[in-house]
Amino acid sequence: AERARERRNRILTVTLSAAIVAALGGWGAYAIDAANEREEQKAAAAEKPVRGEKTWDAKKLGRNHVATAVTYPMQPPVGGDHHQAWMTCDGTVYTQAIANENAVHSLEHGAVWVTYNDRAADADVKALADRVDRTPYTLMSPVRTQAGTITLSAWGRQLTVEKASDARVEQFLLKYVQGAQTPEPGAACTGGLTAS
């Protein structure tokens, strides 16, 4: 009886071990496949222009650190001289306005800044906040003075939309989060300011 129990335990242990290894292997393959698919989406988005986006010559946007307020020619700004401290942009959602000069520094690091005004529907603000919250190198805040309802800004690039469901929102994020326009790719988006 003792030998039979040991044999059953051994068979059970081997069976469970094989099932765990198979599950881990399947999960690993899924994770690799999902990562590859995300990279393919990013590459496809990078090749296509975003319909309706505005662009500025990145070489003409100043990149000096200044300690004073900056008057930007566009609202919200897409680049230019900025403060030394960046806004934390690790999928950070700010419910109050933040300083342009700190947000611009985040753009220099490759972040996309999602902004909205009072015309944005609550459901759109929530959908955008959920998307930003799970996307490193993004930040979101209200900008009551902007002309468009929802604006996405990257260094030298900007898109205005009326609804969060506009397919160009996802395209803009895929293309410009740490995209080719980034002056300082890989620079930190953590450890910055968390309030203006």
Residue 27's pLDDT is: 73
Residue 137's pLDDT is: 98
Residue for token digits 């919200």?
76
- Per-residue DSSP letters for 48-75? S--TT-EE--GGGS---B-SS----SSS
In the chain, DSSP finds a helix count (H) and a strand count (E) of 4, 6
Residue for token digits 């959920």?
130
Walking along the chain (196 residues) 10 residues at a time, the average pLDDT comes out as 77 79 72 61 71 93 94 96 96 97 97 98 98 97 96 98 97 96 95 87
CA angle 146, 152, 155 (to 5 degrees): 105
Contacts of 193 by beta carbon, 8 Å cutoff, 6+ apart: 85, 86, 87, 88, 98, 102
| Cα–Cα distance, 171 to 29 (Å, whole number) | 26
Cα–chain-centroid distance for residue 58?
20
